[in-house]
Amino acid sequence: MNHDGRWLRSDEEALWRAWLGVHARQHVVIARDLKASGLSEPDFEVLVHLTDAPDGKRRLSELAAGLQWERSRVSHQVTRMAKRRLVERHDVAEDARGARVVITREGRAAIEKAAPPHVARVREVFVDRLDAADRVDLARILRKLVP
């Protein structure tokens, strides 16, 4: 990391703070809505990745990669979700260290309940506030920020 003493100019600092403010406000709204539906944000993210798989299954390592989480974080999250019967964890016979995570009927019902109001809120606080050109521009900008 380069620590060459370059401080942010006032316009750069204002931009950074605006980004942090937007992210924080939207995060609070989304988290509150998901909690009201009975899911945490991590629950929802895991369930989304599982429902994206045609068979509702993912290897733990695939989940970690897709979520961009440490494997241990995914493992702990899956353990919490399994206690609530949202997912099941199965050992992979051909890999002693591997595990497969499977969405349950309860997990599918939970995401089917949470998804419509979640999508409506994402539209309200994000997508619908941007016109088509803004969305194209923002997508282009965000791609620059993802390494």
Quick: pLDDT tens for 76-127.
999 999 999 999 999 877 766 689 999 999 999 999 999 999 999 999 999 9
Please give the pLDDT value at position 2.
57
List phi, psi (to 5°) of 95. Answer: -145, 105
Please give the pLDDT value at position 3.
60
Greater confidence, 3 or 146? Answer: 146
* pLDDT tens-digit map of 15-73: 999 999 999 999 999 999 999 999 999 999 999 999 999 999 999 999 999 999 999 99
For residue 66, the tally of other CB atoms under 10 A from its CB is 17
Please give the pLDDT value at position 91.
85
* Of 56, 101, 107, the residue nearest 86 (C-alpha): 107
DSSP state of 89: E
Query: How do strand 87-92 and strand 57-59 relate by DSSP bridges?
Result: unpaired
CA dist 20 and 16 (Å) reads: 6
pLDDT band at 134 (very low <50, low <70, confident <90, very high): very high
Of all helices (H) and strands (E), which one includes residue 65? helix 60-67
